[in-house]
Amino acid sequence: MSLLIGNIGSLVTNDPALGEGPLGLLSDAAVVVDGDTVAWVGPAEKAPAADESVDAAGRALLPGFVDSHSHLVFAGDRTAEFNARMSGRAYEAGGIRTTVAATRAASDAELNANLTRYLAEMLRQGTTTVEVKSGYGLSTADEARSLRIAAGHTEETTYLGAHVVGPEFADDPAGYVELVTGEMLEACAPYARWVDVFCERGAFDGEQARAVLTAGMAKGLRPRVHANQLSPGPGVQLAVELGAASADHCTHLTDRDVAALADGGTVATLLPGAEFSTRAPYPDARRLLDAGARVALSTDCNPGSSFTSSMPFCLAVAVREMGMTPDEAVHAATAGGALALRRTDVGRISPGARADLQLLDAPSHVHLAYRPGVPLTAAVWQGGVRKA
Ligand code: NIG
Ligand code: FE
């Protein structure tokens, strides 16, 4: 079956060869989808015929969001912790253990139902690709089942056994790193594409993070790193050195970190939901972009530091608080996320791409930042299938 989406007022292709600027913008455009793939993009009046057609009525069409960082296999919530933080308490990674206890106590069916619900929430807001991490199990069996459940929904699964030291190893962090790089890795690798580590004071230091990442890489997993979130540290340098696809958070960066990101192949993934919900200073996207680094935006959706599933929300905050232009933020939330996952089939609307598309109830992608908090998603297609 083929589908023609015609009368598109403004089309973001993310292919500079197809249109204006880095977003490859076209006005009065049309897109033809064949099965699960984009087959044709061009001026509306030249569009070929198709089996079905949709009238975009002058509205904006853009690639589905690529949310390259989330922690969606969990049970329970942390309302009390959020309340305490909004009454002045500082965010500490230690809250992760509360979610670990709730997650361990939950059945597979409960975890799967939660994950399904949050992915559906994301889809309704235009997100068509989601990376999902483990990290609330912290035992071999609980990490492996988290990833098995995640793998039932997405190919972008990330082994984060090294989120914090598991409760059984509170007095033996070295023993926990041995578990994460040994038996736990063995059990998790079949369900994971990526390996991640929370490189931070109170979690894992540079040496431990290197051990976790290199062990994962030896098993065929590709590295990404929670880096420089709560304080400056070795995470970004390690990520670039090991060729990680992405260094995530990047809130506290030295000039050397910024230069390493600009010169290396590692994407800086910024997660403004975390700073919003922990009342912390935002990362400086302007500094990274001006230095030539490639930037992605993602939700970091998790019950502790960033309980939002909304890419439009993150995008609006990034524009208002982090020095990004609306165009840069839209690029970071689509093509940037794709790059952070090393995907070439998503994050763009050009022939050969997966037909992951979102139609906005707005004339332009700029409205995502201009109209914060307003649900603008009019329609979503995932692999050519209308989902919302
Ligand atoms: O990305 N930084 C570590 N992990 C999560 C927080 C998880 C939690 O607080 O439960 C994050 O912000
Ligand atoms: Fe995270």
Q: Are residues 167 and 314 in the same domain?
A: yes
Q: Ligand 1 within 6 A of 229 CB?
A: yes
Q: Report how far ligand 2's centroid is from the alpha carbon of 353 (Å).
A: 28
Q: Are residues 88 and 206 in the same domain?
A: yes
CATH number at residue 24: 2.30.40.10
Q: Is 331 annotated as a binding residue?
A: no
Q: Ligand 1 within 6 A of 195 CB?
A: no
Q: Are residues 239 and 369 in the same domain?
A: no
Q: Report how far ligand 1's centroid is from the alpha carbon of 354 (Å).
A: 30
Q: Are 104 and 141 in contact (CB under 8 A)?
A: no
What local confidence, expressed as pLDDT, does residue 93 receive? 78
By residue range, what is the domain housing residue 54? Answer: 2-64+348-386
Say if residue 12's pLDDT is above 80.
yes
Q: Are residues 176 and 323 in the same domain?
A: yes
Model confidence pLDDT, tens digit, residues 185-236: 999 999 999 999 999 999 999 999 999 999 999 999 999 999 999 999 999 9
Q: Are 337 and 68 in contact (CB under 8 A)?
A: yes
Q: Are 14 and 347 in contact (CB under 8 A)?
A: yes
Protein residue with least CA distance to atom 5, ligand 1: 305
Q: What is the Cβ-side half-sphere exposure of residue 220, based on CA atoms within 13 angstroms?
A: 7
CATH number at residue 305: 3.20.20.140
Q: Are residues 307 and 208 in the same domain?
A: yes
Q: Is 304 annotated as a binding residue?
A: yes
Say if residue 94's pLDDT is above 80.
no
Q: Please tell me the total count of domains within the chain.
A: 2
Q: Are residues 187 and 212 in the same domain?
A: yes
Q: Ligand 1 within 6 A of 196 CB?
A: no
Question: Quick count: other Cβ atoms within 10 Å of Cβ 139?
Answer: 18
Q: Are residues 77 and 50 in the same domain?
A: no
Q: Are residues 75 and 54 in the same domain?
A: no
Say if residue 356's pLDDT is above 90.
yes
Residue range 327-346: mean pLDDT, rounded: 99
Say if residue 180's pLDDT is above 90.
yes
Model confidence pLDDT, tens digit, residues 304-334: 999 999 999 999 999 999 999 999 999 999 9
Q: Are residues 58 and 72 in the same domain?
A: no
Residue range 29-37: mean pLDDT, rounded: 98
What local confidence, expressed as pLDDT, does residue 231 receive? 96
Structure-token pair, residue 310 = 């909304």
Q: Are residues 105 and 55 in the same domain?
A: no
* Distance between CA atoms of residues 296 and 16, nearest Å: 18
What local confidence, expressed as pLDDT, does residue 91 receive? 86
With b meaning 16 or more CB within 10 Å and e meaning fewer, what string describes 63-88? bbbbbbbbbbbbbbebeebbeebeee
Q: Are residues 236 and 372 in the same domain?
A: no
Q: How confident is the model at residue 237 (pLDDT cuts 50, 70, 90)?
A: very high
Q: Ligand 1 within 6 A of 99 CB?
A: yes
What local confidence, expressed as pLDDT, does residue 43 receive? 98
What local confidence, expressed as pLDDT, does residue 288 receive? 98
What local confidence, expressed as pLDDT, does residue 92 receive? 81
Distances (CA, A) of 258 to 49, 130, 240: 48, 26, 11
Which residue from 132, 300, 314 has its CB within 8 A of the most atoms of ligand 1, so it is best to mutate?
300
Say if residue 137's pLDDT is above 80.
yes
Residue type, 119: L
Q: Ligand 1 within 6 A of 95 CB?
A: yes
CA 9 from chain centre, in angstroms, equals 28
What local confidence, expressed as pLDDT, does residue 44 receive? 97
Q: Are residues 88 and 201 in the same domain?
A: yes
